[in-house]
Structure formats: structure tokens, C-alpha cells
Amino acid sequence: MSSSNNENELTTTRFTDRLRDESEPFWTQATTHRFTRQLADGTLPDEVFIRYLIQDYHYVDCLAQAVGFAVALAPDMATRRPLAGFLSVLTNAENDFFLKSFARLGVDEATWRNTPPSPVTQAISEAIVGGASGHAGSGQYPEAMTVLLCSEWVYQAWAEPVADAQPPQPQYREWIELHATAEFIGFVEWLREETDRACEGLDAERQEALVALFRKVTELEAAFFEDAFGS
């Protein structure tokens, strides 16, 4: 499949292109979901966004744990630094967004604290933290990068095409802007390059397992959006 190790080939398939392409139909479902379309045109019901935010706050807490594993597993300071920068965004600006949005939407602290993670949230959190930490039997840098890449790339892929949308709800505009900034797009490209570098020399069996992991997380990203509709 990948010819990237053959120097005589003029065209090569990036490993991360393979991850995305082999995740269909879930990739298209996750990146063009009605949740993101309605977010962009302002027709997403408040109660759907509130359900999503409460679940996503659980998810982001698990994601921060997964990034911590990636920081630990990274090969050197130059790779730890962007991951640590991302962890800082997650635990500061991103965290502030959730608390501000809960306040704006009238979701009191007891509600977001006491609403348990849904089965879909539990499944995606286990896939992310398990994949990155070894609880799912892997726990190496390529696995950690693969789950992080999926989580971030799906969001860039839905947000960038709707970056100019101006829904009337300020929290919808902010949620789009957060995922369409040059900084975030640059971070996703770095994740792709680093995942390519970490995975392209691995044997076929390991690569197959990484493709399956990326595909599973992509499927769960689509299910996570659907879950917010209560269907």
C-alpha cells in the first residue's frame, strides 16, 4: 500500500493519508455531520449543544490524560514541546471555553458535574486513553500519536470549510473559530508529519493495527456528534 520507503517511487502515500482514507465511511460522517452543519448555520438547538458540551467536557478531560501519555512517550524535547503546548491550551483556553459556555447557557455546576459520561463518551475516552497509555495493550508513541491525530484532524476537517460561517450564537462562532485558527491548523499538520515519521517504518502488522485504531476513533467521533441529538 504505502510506497514511501521506496526511493525510486515518484509519488508516495503518506501514512496519515492512508489512516484517513481507510476510515471511510466514518471519516466523511464525522467531518460533515449534521451537528457541524447546524452549528455553522445557527440551526443547532441549544439543548443539543448543551448535551454535547457536557459530554465533551468529560471527553476533553480524558484527552488531556492521553496527551500527558504522549508527552511522556515522545522521543525528545523537540517533540515533547508542541505536545506540551497543546496540553496547556487544553487545560487553559479550552477549559475556560467550557466554563464560560456553561455559564452563558445557564448550565449550573451541579448539572455538568453530575451528568455521567454517556456510553459513547466512555467508549471514545477508553479508545483514546487506552490507545495512548497501553491499557488497550499498546501504549507506545505511534499509538498515542494516532489517537491524538484522529481527534484533532477530524475537528480541523469539519471546521476549516465553515470557518467563515457567522451563526448568531456567540458560542457556536467561538467553537468554529477555535478549530479553524492558523495555530490549530499548524498543530494538526505537525501531528500529521510526526505521525508519518513515527509510523512509516513500522512493520505491516503494526501499521494495520494503527489503521484499525484510527478507524475506531473516527467511528466514535461520528457517534459522539450523533449522541448529542439524543438519538
Ligand X SMILES: Cc1ncc(C[n+]2csc(CCO)c2C)c(N)n1
- Residues assigned a catalytic role: 221
When binding is defined by CB under 6 A, the residue of 210, 221, 222, 227 that contacts ligand X is: 221
189 marked as part of a ligand binding site = no
> Does residue 151 belong to the site contacting ligand X (CB under 6 A)?
yes
How far apart CA 113 and CA 116 sit, in angstroms, is 8
**Ranges within 181-210 binding ligand X (CB under 6 A):** none
When binding is defined by CB under 6 A, the residue of 162, 178, 202, 209 that contacts ligand X is: 178
Enumerate the H helices of 42-108 as residue ranges: 46-73, 77-89, 95-104
Q: What is the dihedral of CA 168, 174, 179, 185, to 10 degrees?
A: 100
Residue 65: all three cell numbers together: 490524560
By CB under 6 A, which span of 2-10, 37-45, 56-64, 75-83 interacts with ligand X? 56-64
152 marked as part of a ligand binding site = yes
Residue closer to ligand X (CB basis): 124 or 207: 124
Residues that contact ligand X, how many (by CB under 6 A): 15
By CB under 6 A, which span of 150-158, 160-168, 191-199, 205-213 interacts with ligand X? 150-158
Query: Cis omega (within 30 of 0) on the bond before 119?
Result: no
DSSP state of 3: -
When binding is defined by CB under 6 A, the residue of 179, 192, 215, 216 that contacts ligand X is: 179
> Does residue 152 belong to the site contacting ligand X (CB under 6 A)?
yes
Give the Cα-Cα-Cα angle 102, 157, 80 (nearest 5 degrees). 80
How far apart CA 144 and CA 120 sit, in angstroms, is 20
Q: What is the dihedral of CA 67, 70, 74, 78, to 10 degrees?
A: -10
Residue closer to ligand X (CB basis): 191 or 200: 191
How many Cβ atoms sit within 10 Å of the Cβ of residue 97? 18
Residue closer to ligand X (CB basis): 167 or 207: 167
Residues at the site binding ligand X, with contacts judged by CB under 6 A: 56, 59-60, 63, 89-90, 94, 124, 151-152, 155, 178-179, 221, 224
